[in-house]
Every structure is written in C-alpha cells, then in structure tokens.
Amino acid sequence: MAHTTHLLYSSGLLISSLLFSSVSSAAQWQGPLEGIQNTFLKPKYQEYHESAETLSHEIQQLCAVPNEQQLSSTRTAFEHNMLDWQEVQWLNFGPVSYFMRFYGFQFWPDKKSITTRQLRTLKQNIDSTYKDGFWKKASIAVKGLTAIEAILYRDSFNPINDSVNCNLLYQIAQHHADTTGDIAGEWQNHTVEEWVFAEEDSDTDLHTLALEQLLQQWLEHLSVLKDSKIEVPLGYNDRAKPKMAEFYQSKQSLNAIKQNLQTYIDLYHSGTPSLYDLSYKLYPEQSQALDDQFLTSLNIAQTLPSDLFMNKTVANTEASKHQVALLVKSISQSQSQLQQLIVKLGFNIGFNSRDGD
C-alpha cells in the first residue's frame, strides 16, 4: 500500500500527556534534553543562519556580476545551507512552528509545481515585492530553500541572463537569512521547556514533557525519510515519481538523506548522559541494537549510486533496487526499535501527524 507521508503535514506544537514509569524523572531526562538543546537547537540553528547569510551574499554577488563561476559558487552555498537545514528539519517545534516558518523554509513535496507558478507570477508583479512587510505575508511557496532552488537550478529562470529573476532570488534569500536569524536568536534566549504546555492538573515535569515532544518529532521524521524521501520518488510501492524527490533540481536528494541519517546517530548520543547512555543502563541489548541499526542505515545509504534519484536507468538496476530495499527495511526497523525503546522508558508516544493513508 502506497504511503503519502508529507513534510507539509507535520504538526506544530504538540500537546501531550506522559505516563510516568519508575524510570522517569526530571533529573534523569535533563541530560539528553540539554544535550539535544545545546548540541542541536542552539548551535545548529546558528550554523543554519550563518550559511543562509553566506548564500544571500553569494546571490547578491551573482546579481552584481552574473557569470557561470559565480553561479557555481552560489550553488555551492545553497548546498551547504540545505545540509544545515537537514540537521534541524526533523523538529517542527518551538519558534520554527510559529507563523508557518517551518513550511516557509521548505515547501515540499510540491505536487502541482505551485512554487514555480507563483514565482513566475511574482516576476510579473515585481514592484509589489518591495512593499513593506511583503515577504512576511507572502505565500510559503515562494519563500526559503524550495524557491531559491527553483530559480538557481531551473533553466527557465536563468538568473545570469535575467536580472529581474536574480533580483527576486536575492529578496527571497535575504528574507530566508533574516528568518533563520530570528529563530536562531529565539533559541539562544529560550529553552525547550518554555515551548511545552502541560495539561491542566498535570504533575509531570516539563523536562520530561519536552523530551517526549522531541522524541515524537524524531519518530515522525523517520516516516518522512522513509516514505516521502525514498519510497515515493523511487517507486518502492508504486509508480516512480522522481521529480517528487527532495531537492531534485539541485541533485541533492541522496545527500539530504545521508545527512538525516547522520543526525539520528548524533541525536541518540547527545548529552551527558545521552539517551543512549540512559537506555543502555536499563535495556542494553535494545539500546545497542538501535545504535547499530542507525549506523547500518547510514552505511547502506553511503553505498547507493550518487545519481540514484536523477537517473532512471541506475535506479532500475537490480543492484540499486536491492540496496534501496535494504535501506527502507533498515529505516523501518530503526523506527520500530526507537518507538519500542522510548515507550519502555516511560514515554507516551501518540498519533503520528506526518503519517498519511
């Protein structure tokens, strides 16, 4: 049965209750919570902002001196920013979940080419983009990485020879840099617990609730990775839809997947003690099996052909199909193992809001 998991269907701020077990306590979960907060949310969003600033600068240079060399440099900056996004993409929670900023970073999957159509309309009304507050109110389809990728990589936009498109590209990139900066600043001044709301009369501590929210988001992103990033574009359960692959135009689909898989490993080992450390003391076999499974998935992804998502001939070879099947199975196993482990640790994981029919 085909899955239709979508990044666009991700929930924002989740409000859930936690069932306490004997192993759940505020002090116990503070280590991994602070590790994820300090290792990911604060520094990773800062890196994401800094690479967005670099991208905006490169685009400004491209518009000033349009040539192939500068276009190449700009595309490299885009790829760096895209990979920084992949490290925080798993979390639609906290400041990024307000004002549709999560979706403004990446409007994907875009089944009806809405971004391309709306960008062409904007070009015809370019004067409107200079009005105060325009970009804050603009459609999420013409913001962030999806819109930047379209103009940078689609031949029909051609920012080297079309100054209007290049100017539009710069405006989008500058708003993107400003937004990443706003969120990075908000994470520097706030903690994860401040974005969590306990149910009325709940005696559950906020550290535990906050970590539960992060774990829920992590589990949901595993579904996005398996379904939308791999199965749908490669036709694992249905007809292949290669253009539905994430960052298809920039040929970064596989690199994005690899970064996600590395991020899962880093998340598991974040903090002192980390989630891995705490779970290993209680359930050593399950804890180590999950760690091994995450690494197995990454190792399989590393063996896939670099042009897997761009070349149908390559994707349809028996060798590629076999490796993709192994990767899908491994990701499914890691998701199941992670869910079983965190439930054993006393967390209540609810409905997967990114899972479709």
Taking CA 88 as the corner, what is the angle to CA 352 and CA 347, rounded to the nearest 5 degrees? 40
Domains within the chain, CATH numbers bracketed: 7-39+203-344 (no CATH), 42-189 (1.20.1420.20)
The verdict on pTM exceeding 0.75 is yes
* Pair 4, 351: CB distance under 8 Å: no
pLDDT in tens, 340-350: 999 999 998 87
Taking CA 268 as the corner, what is the angle to CA 144 and CA 198, rounded to the nearest 5 degrees? 75
* φ, ψ for residue 274, nearest 5 deg: -90, 175
Query: Would you state the structure tokens that stand for residue 296, as one six-digit string?
Result: 């197995």
Per-residue confidence in pLDDT tens, the chain, 357 aa: 444 445 554 443 343 333 334 344 557 898 999 999 998 899 999 999 999 999 999 999 999 999 999 999 999 999 999 999 999 999 999 999 999 999 999 999 999 999 999 999 999 999 999 999 999 999 999 999 999 999 999 999 999 999 999 999 999 999 999 999 999 999 999 999 999 987 766 677 888 899 999 999 999 999 999 999 999 999 998 899 999 999 999 999 999 999 999 999 999 999 999 999 999 999 999 999 999 999 999 999 999 999 999 999 999 999 999 999 999 999 999 999 999 999 999 998 875 544 433
> How far apart are the C-alpha atoms of 264 and 294, rounded to whole Å?
7
Among candidate residues 198, 207, 179, the one with its CA nearest the CA of residue 85:
179
